[in-house]
Structure 1
Amino acid sequence: MIRVMIVDDDALVRLGLTDLLVDDPDIEVAAQASDGIEAIEKATAHRIDVALVDIRMPRMDGIAAISRLRALPYPPKIITLTTFDLDEYVYEAVAAGADGFLLKDAAPGEIVRAVHTVAAGSAILHPNAARRLIDRYHRTDTKAATNARQRIESLTPRERDVLDLLARGDTNAEIAQELGMRESTVKAHVSRILAALQTTNRVQAALLVRDAQQ
């Protein structure tokens, strides 16, 4: 069972998303919150697997809430769900630790699939979009570049091969084909890479690679 928290200051949006998600037998809406502060409280009190988090909210916005949620001892996967389609919001959300980004006018089936996808450990931001965001918004200073290189040097040669392809935007299946590995082996490598680099998702790992190249 996937335990979901819906974080949005609009009660009708929370109600609509709840009605949509509870129709899936594998999803339970375990909590709702009207802003980032309440989201932190609910995620601390309840085990949450996936949080749907709006960007613009009172008291604490979605970007700040994502960072706080990711810092919890048992952090949920996070999908940013908003009416705003601006690249800068997407970049800030992903850089803060979000695992995906959807607009509120996405088809109902797409939202449900997104919950299942991130709960299974995958991201839902298209690799081409991720590269565009990194190229447009990401800036690196010398200290960050040195730190990124040191963290990447801690990986094994095979893990670095996987990381290079991951940063290029390849899926696990594409990495497996490129390196002659099983997809399950690639998935295990990716999990170890994210842990070693102290990153929460594939896009943050790609950001680190970009830092190291500066």
Structure 2
Amino acid sequence: MADFKTHTIAAAVVSGALTTAMLVHYQLSVELALLYWAAGTLGGILPDIDSDHSKSIRLIFQLLSGLATVIVVIKVHPYLKIWQLWLAGLGTFLIIYFPLRQIFARLTIHRGILHSLLANLLFALITIVIGYRLLNMTAAIAWGCGLFLFIGALVHLLLDEIYSVDLAGARLKGSFGSALKITQWNEPWLTVVLIAACGGLYYLAPSGYHWWLLVSRLNPL
């Protein structure tokens, strides 16, 4: 399979190409282009969050812990003293980065259901809801971040599938078919849980009109 560096570079290149095209064709602001590029690059490593000893899970949980800390501090700062605010921020970071990361690592297996298109959709919807509900993004920007994160994660799955083909030996490796899949078909109940989660997140997300508007603007590319 492709390594961490390859996944990161590939997702960054694809996201960069798309945001550059949007800069030229739609006069997208540089700030938004950088935000979408960052979301796409993050998506490029996200499917490996189920790998217990990978750089991806450490980096992703560092980012999640930092983001959660910022959100908590912003939300509770009117009600706490400065030392209480520091404790709240530190506690949030430590709880997410250490015990939650360990629990997550124990409950997941590499190239399981989190390595699928259904999981990519879940990641994208989580991004949209967090962006819109907690970070006060507009609906269009939140959907844009979700779209680019999905594209980056899709690049990851495609790369892993490509690396499952041994061109020199003209054969398919044993890992072929385990990366780019709709879901983990031998885990039907877990699939139902993810579908239900996607449905709930879609309900919490802003109007889908902004999604279709964004896609229609990308069509001429």
TM-score by length of 1: 0.22
TM-score by length of 2: 0.22
Tell me which of the two structures has the higher relative contact order, counting C-alpha pairs closer than 8 angstroms and 6 or more residues apart. 2
The structure with more helix, counted as a fraction of residues: 2
The structure with more strand, counted as a fraction of residues: 1
